[in-house]
Structure 1
């Protein structure tokens, strides 16, 4: 005979970490905090769906998640999202400070390597403060920039001030955006999958723009040589 505890454990073991609805159904508000921490503080979390998870969680706080078996409260959700995002970034910075460039050098993922290159470009182009804030809104880069800032010895006070500012705007902003949409449009949860798709697509725009510029620059160099 299958017990309720066994059913709960099996549902958590079967969770799809790339699906915000699956994560929220299995772990609720606690899962949001853990994912925020892992995505911003641990290099292994670069693939996690931070943007779409925050937006979806906020949307489901309006009661639209009843059909998904999800019941979230906005207050605890905002706290979990903010604490996870801020603590994760600070942890990533400290790991980078201690391990140096070796931490990133050991990464074999192409996406991590590209993210590290883009994070370094952000720091060089915009300076510490602006780069730390902007990185929050770029997938993979927000994972890599924190340990990179530590490895490059960005002043701890500078990093902390601006990662808190960027982290709060990112985590609370996306959560409240989802909540606002869910509050203003009845039965918006019916369109949850397309909405998540839009969020993912929007979050990938900076990467697409960068890739296009790189290809144009490479084509220009090749043309000049020809």
Structure 2
């Protein structure tokens, strides 16, 4: 049985804003809080969510409300990530031969925080793998919690709403061409599902690698 783009879009649209809210808030929180976030397509998810909301009559209200919700989810996720890093002491669990959670990437993030501090946390929001590692490394490195909170909160305000609104207003243009919106949304949702599935698989592969226990001081060398 072949499902047309319009039928696929009808299924997505019928799910309504509630499903969009659930997915967006979950992805944003996980990306900012735990290692699994390294492997999730957060940026493309926000843009896709904005495009889908553009097709709903109450989309404008939803996209602005969801922007606030996404900011809160990002801020809370950052605090959880910082707390996990802080609780680990100055030890950071890397993976030998890991693609993302490796000594080299931890070294890069730590150097970034050491040299630029506040601004590094702010800019990290726009770099996918750094977005997840930054809270953990900042907590382990005992970065000043107030400075970290201010920087990560400003970063959240400048990240999630911007991508949601880019998607939302792009969706407004797509709606002007009747056949284009269903096709684009179906493709984006399919890519998002594939990206999430691949991310979960890569996460399992990464976690299966041998643990390499390094300290903050070591990754600064």
Q: TM-score range by the shorter chain?
A: 0.5 to 0.7
Matches within 5 A, 1:26-65: 27-63=19-55
Structure scoring higher RCO (CA < 8 A, sep ≥ 6) equals 2
Q: Which runs of 4+ in 1 moved over 6 A?
A: 23-26, 194-197
* Residues 140 and 24 of structure 1, relative CA distance in 2, 3 Å threshold: farther
**1:41 touches 1:146 (CA, 8 Å); kept in 2?**
yes
**1:52 touches 1:196 (CA, 8 Å); kept in 2?**
no
> Paired residue for 1:206?
none
Matches within 5 A, 1:1-226: 27-63=19-55, 73-102=62-91, 104-107=92-95, 109-113=98-102, 114-125=104-115, 127-185=116-174, 186-187=176-177, 189=181, 190-192=183-185, 193=187
Shift of 1:110: 2.6
SS state of the match for residue 117, structure 1? helix
Using structure 1 for the length normalisation, give the TM-score. Answer: 0.65
Shift of 1:122: 1.8
SS state of the match for residue 54, structure 2? coil
SS state of the match for residue 51, structure 2? helix
Extract unaligned runs of 5+ from structure 2.
1-12, 196-221
**1:122 touches 1:131 (CA, 8 Å); kept in 2?**
yes
Instruction: Tell me how far apart the structure 2 counterparts of residues 83 and 149 of structure 1 sit (CA, whole Å).
Output: 19
Extract unaligned runs of 5+ from structure 1.
1-20, 65-71, 201-226
Report the RMSD for the aligned CA atoms in angstroms: 3.2
Which structure has greater helix proportion? 1
**2:28 touches 2:42 (CA, 8 Å); kept in 1?**
yes
SS state of the match for residue 105, structure 1? strand
Using structure 2 for the length normalisation, give the TM-score. Answer: 0.67
SS state of the match for residue 168, structure 1? helix
Task: Count the aligned residue pairs.
Answer: 171
Which structure has greater strand proportion? 2
**1:38 touches 1:88 (CA, 8 Å); kept in 2?**
yes
Instruction: Tell me how far apart the structure 1 counterparts of residues 68 and 53 of structure 2 sit (CA, whole Å).
Output: 14
